Amino acid sequence: AQSVTQLGSHVSVSEGALVLLRCNYSSSVPPYLFWYVQYPNQGLQLLLKYTTGATLVKGINGFEAEFKKSETSFHLTKPSAHMSDAAEYFCAVTQPASSYKLIFGSGTRLLVRP
Amino acid sequence: DAGITQSPRHKVTETGTPVTLRCHQTENHRYMYWYRQDPGHGLRLIHYSYGVKDTDKGEVSDGYSVSRSKTEDFLLTLESATSSQTSVYFCAISESGGLPEAFFGQGTRLTVV
């Protein structure tokens, strides 16, 4: 069975500081991994994805994530936080054999201090 | 934005009444999903569809049923609403092949009183 763990339900950073949101997964087969962002009262928007190939993937709004198989991790980073990055972030895993059903982590709310 | 429309966007209903939520897509994607979002739980899969009339249960399917009679429409029915089904419900779509990511609707906030 697949599962996702996001460490830290809330992360607070200063504007301009590094953003690091942690995601660890469990999967018995090569996973597809995603980060989604949710702004208040909105649906989920895809930030980036890893399927195969290059393990460092770049997404929208300056975010990137690195797939580390040995650590079963897919942490999300951004070098410099902006006030507009304040939102909830979800890590998710799936695989083709599961009809692409997503298994989500519990989410991390990012707070950006001025 | 992917063409996904959920209706209604907000609903308040009484315990014991049936409720149907609708998801409509214009992308002709094969897969459709219903998730519920609750604080501390992320999103959890209720039911999903892999084609017209082809559906299966997800992680939290008790008390819910679905139907998909057309590619573009996926209905979620709460057979007899309970307060534990108060939640935000999201529909999502995805396609097989090279585009495994799911696209989400704007959500339906359901309150059962």
Model confidence over B13-51: pLDDT tens digits? 999 999 999 999 999 999 999 999 998 889 999 999 999
Provide the pairing of β-strand A64-68 with A73-78.
antiparallel
Find the residue in B nearest to A44 (Cα). Answer: B104
Q: For an interface test with A, which of B46, B47, B104, B109 has the most A Cβ atoms less than 10 Å from its Cβ?
A: B104
**Residues 6 or more apart from B33 whose CB is under 8 A from it?**
A101, A102, B45, B47, B48, B49, B58, B91, B92, B93, B94, B102
* pLDDT tens over chain A, length 114 residues: 789 999 999 999 999 999 999 999 998 788 899 999 999 888 999 999 998 888 999 999 999 999 999 999 999 999 999 999 999 999 999 887 778 889 999 999 999 999
Find the residue in A nearest to B50 (Cα). Answer: A99
Question: According to the model, what pLDDT value does residue A29 have?
Answer: 82
Between chain A and chain B, how many beta carbons pairs sit less than 8 Å apart? 60
Alpha-carbon distance B61 to nearest alpha carbon in chain A (angstroms): 14
Question: Strands (DSSP E) along B8-106, which ranges?
Answer: 10-13, 19-25, 31-38, 42-51, 54-57, 64-70, 73-78, 87-94, 103-104
Question: According to the model, what pLDDT value does residue B98 have?
Answer: 60
Find the residue in A nearest to B55 (Cα). Answer: A99
Q: Residue with structure tokens 């997404």?
A: A59
- Output the average pLDDT for chain B: 93
Q: Does B44 touch chain A (CB under 8 A)?
A: yes
